[in-house]
Amino acid sequence: MGIFEKALISGEEILTYIPQRFPIVMVDSYYGKDGNVSYTGYTPAESTLFCRDGVFTEPGIIEHMAQSAALSAGVDFKCRGEEIPVGFIGALSKLKIERLPETGHMLETTVSEIQKYQDISLVSVRVESFGKVVAEGELKIFLQREEKQ
């Protein structure tokens, strides 16, 4: 069985791990983690924000990449019994969008942690659909933790 065959987290449960709410939720499945690599998915519908003329557009792909990283981090924090902090994208680099996927086609996304220092992470994100690369790039993420009084 492949990694993208059975989601461990999906549907409304996703909302407990990410700060986004509908209609801007651009991730619908979490498939697990292997070491520093996490797997997420999303199937954009025609009615999805950022879909136009039967394709999922660039802003949607980038938002999906960011939410995939957020979902992966949220799962990690929750598994450790910690509060999920708010994260911010500090930089997007090495972005390559190879093609725009059609609506209704599942995106299979791999988030790999490259480097981490305190509350700053650098992750690589690769999005594929039907075995072909859709996009890839790196995100620098800053976490804002609540200060305890």
Q: How many alpha carbons lie under 13 Å from residue 33 in its C-beta half-sphere?
A: 17
DSSP annotation of 88: E
**Can you give the pLDDT at residue 137?**
98
**Can you give the pLDDT at residue 144?**
86
The tens digit of pLDDT for each residue in 60-79 reads 999 999 999 999 999 999 99
CA dist 45 and 68 (Å) reads 18
Contacts of 87 (CB under 8 A, 6+ apart): 69, 70, 73, 141, 142, 143, 144
Residue ranges per domain, the chain? 9-144
pLDDT band at 148 (very low <50, low <70, confident <90, very high): low
The tens digit of pLDDT for each residue in 22-60 reads 999 999 999 999 999 999 999 999 999 999 999 999 999
CATH architecture of 9-144: Roll (3.10)
Is the whole model's pTM more than 0.85, yes or no? yes
**Can you give the pLDDT at residue 145?**
79
